[in-house]
Structure 1
Amino acid sequence: MKKITLALLVGITLLTCKKNKATSDCGDKICTEEFASIMIKFVDNKGGGAEVKDFNVINQRTGKRMIANSSISTSTTRGVFIIVDDQNKLDLSEQGDDLKITGTSADTQQTKSVVVKVSGGKCACHIVKISGPGQIAFN
């Protein structure tokens, strides 16, 4: 009796999986429950975290400003900013988009920009940094 019950449960599970796969446009994918985010650090001429104003992230493909939702509720270290997170993945292409990151030093008024390439997309499990620096240094 136990073998029959186990066989029925396995069969039902397999049917359910096939039904879900048929409705998915992304094929067979197993994603982790991790929540990915990409950060950048602004540093002063001594290598310490710099106070930054006018921080901005613009998707160069769409021209739209990117705002990482996790940055709203997260307390960060001085000079460290979350540029995008998994909640932004639908705003990014699978091939990767160039994100222009700009900030102005509150001390020197110097403005610096860099480009970081990040991929996402409808079928991505998480955002992925493809290229670009992790730090911006003010003189």
Structure 2
Amino acid sequence: MTKKVPLLLLLIACLSACSSNKQKNGCGVQTCTLEYAYIGILFKDQQNKFPPLKDVSMINLRTNKPLTPVLYPPNIDFVAGYTLITSDGNIKDFSTDGDDVKISATNSETNQTKTAILKIAGGCGCHVSKKSGPDTIVFD
């Protein structure tokens, strides 16, 4: 009987330690890399030039809220034509399984508007990730 008490106490201590080691967001314990993920889209025309854009909008269709990408570090210069949609700074704006995000922009020179739908996951994932959708939008 005296040998069972320490074992029982050890088992209870282990179980309580495991349950208290969960993350506060309810995602459980996971090991993630220190990478910082970005998701964006490239806008170009048929001549492979990058037109100036206006009226760029990004809406999470699940929440019907506009996305405001968090840039870290704040002074990154992306390639010409690349528009940042989201980063790991916005991971909680998305569900773990992924949300449809409507991206829309207008070519300032031609006033042509193009729209695409991307599926972006976040939530309990380690990083934001694009599940589906185009990498590039081409204006006519």
TM-score where L is the length of structure 1? 0.79
State the percentage of identical aligned residues. 37
Aligned to 1:38: 39
1:114 to 113, 116, 125: 116
Alpha-carbon distance in 1 for matches of 2:68, 2:122: 15
Aligned length: 123
Is 1:56 the counterpart of 2:77? The answer is no
The residue type paired with residue 92 of structure 1 is: F
The residue type paired with residue 70 of structure 1 is: L
Cα pair 1:21 1:28 within 8 Å, conserved? no
Alpha-carbon distance in 1 for matches of 2:36, 2:19: 23
Where 1:94 maps in the other structure, the secondary structure is coil
Specify every segment of 5 or more residues in structure 1 that has no aligned partner in the other structure, as ranges: 1-14
Aligned to 1:23: 21
1:89 to 83, 91, 95: 91
Q: Which has the higher helix share?
A: 1
Where 1:69 maps in the other structure, the secondary structure is coil
The residue type paired with residue 135 of structure 2 is: G
Bigger shift: residues 18-27 or 82-91? 18-27
Specify every segment of 5 or more residues in structure 2 that has no aligned partner in the other structure, as ranges: 1-12
- The offset of 1:102, in angstroms, is 0.4
Alpha-carbon distance in 1 for matches of 2:20, 2:97: 25
* Root-mean-square deviation over aligned CA pairs: 2.1
- The offset of 1:85, in angstroms, is 0.4
Alpha-carbon distance in 2 for matches of 1:28, 1:46: 48
- The offset of 1:22, in angstroms, is 2.7
